[in-house]
Amino acid sequence: MSKIAFVFPGQGSQSVGMGKDLYDTQSEARERFELADKQLGFPLSELIFGGPEAELKQTANTQPALLTTSVALAEAFAAKGLAPDYVAGHSLGEYSALTVAGVLSFEDAVSIVRARGEYMEQAVPGGQGAMAAVLGGEREALAALCADITAGGALVELANVNCPGQIVVSGSKEGIEQVVSRVKEIGAKRAIPLEVSGPFHSSLMKSAAERLQDRLAAAAFHNASVPVVANVTARPVQDGAKIAELLVQQVYSPVLWEDTVNWLIAQGVDTFVEIGPGSVLTGLIKKTDKSVRLFNVNNLDSLEQTAAALQ
C-alpha cells in the first residue's frame, strides 16, 4: 500500500514574494496571512511579499514568515482532498507540520516561532557562534572529530544530519574554524561556513530552549491527528505533551533528517510532498533514496500540478 508524507522546510528556504500568488487568488490563504499580521502586531505579510530581503532573513522574521506561507500552501493543498499518512518538518518546519496535524492552533504556532526566533538570535552574542556544512564525511567520523575539538576547549557538535554526505555542524566560532581546517583528516571533501545568525541546534542554544519552554507552557498542545516524525528522535509522536517536550530539546539537539526520511521509507512511504517555499528537502530526500516519488508545492502552479498527479 502506497503511503504519503508531507514535509515542511526550515530556515533558508524563504524568498521575498513567497505565497503572493496564493494570497492574491485564495481568500482562505489571504485570511491566514492577515491573521499572522494581527497575531504578531506588525505587517509580516508586507515583509514577505515586498522585502527587504535582509529584514526577511532575520531569524525572528523568517520563522513566522515561513510558517505562515507553508501552512497557507498546506491548507490550499488539503482542500484538494489529499491527506498525508505522516508529516515531518526540518527544524522550524516541524512547527508547520504540527499546525497541519492540529497539535497547535495557527495563532499559537505563529506567535511561538516568532518568539523562538528571537530567543535563538539572543542566546549567543553576535560573532561568537557559527555553523558549517560538511560535505562527503561519515557521521561517526565527524562526530568523533567534533568531540576531539570540543575536548580541546572549542565546542562544536553535529546540528543537522541532512542526507548521506551532508551534515551541518554548529558551535563556537573557534570550533567551526577547526572543523573547517581539519575536516579532510576524516575523509570529508570540505566544510563550508554558513551565513547564519547563531550556532543553532547546538548546546549553546540551551538558554533559548529554557525560554522557549516557558513560552510553550502557555500554549495549548493537542494530540496529533496524524503521526509527526520528530526531529530529535526520528520517530513518530502524537501525544501533545510529549511533542512540547521534544520541541524544547529540538532547539539544542541535532535535526535527524536523514534518519527521519529512512524511517518513513521503512514504513512504506514512497511519495513525499514538500510543502512550502523552495525545494531544499526534495534535494535531500533524493540524495537519501532515489526510488521515491517527490513533489513540491511551493506556489499555485505546483500545487495544481501535484494535486492532479496524486488524485
Q: What is the pLDDT of residues 118-152, one digit of tens each?
A: 999 999 988 899 999 999 999 999 999 999 999 99
State the cell numbers at 27.
481568500
∠ Cα 95 13 256 (to 5°): 55
How much is the CA Rg of the chain, to the nearest whole Å?
19
State the cell numbers at 134.
560538511
Task: Write down the pLDDT at residue 195.
Answer: 85
Task: State the Cα–Cα distance between residues 104 and 102, nearest whole angstrom.
Answer: 6
Please tell me the pTM assigned to this model: 0.97
Residues identified as active-site: 91, 201
Task: State the Cα–Cα distance between residues 199 and 169, nearest whole angstrom.
Answer: 9
Asked if residues 5 and 269 have their Cβ atoms less than 8 Å apart, the reply is yes
Q: For residue 157, is pLDDT > 80?
A: yes
**In CATH, 3-123+204-310 is 3.40.366.10:** yes
How do 86-89 and 3-8 pair as beta strands? parallel
Q: For residue 1, is pLDDT > 90?
A: no
Asked if residues 213 and 160 have their Cβ atoms less than 8 Å apart, the reply is no
Class for the domain spanning 129-196: alpha beta
| DSSP labels, 114-143 | HHHHHHHHHSS-TTSEEEEEEES--HHHHH
Q: For residue 167, is pLDDT > 90?
A: yes
The domain spans of the chain are 3-123+204-310, 129-196
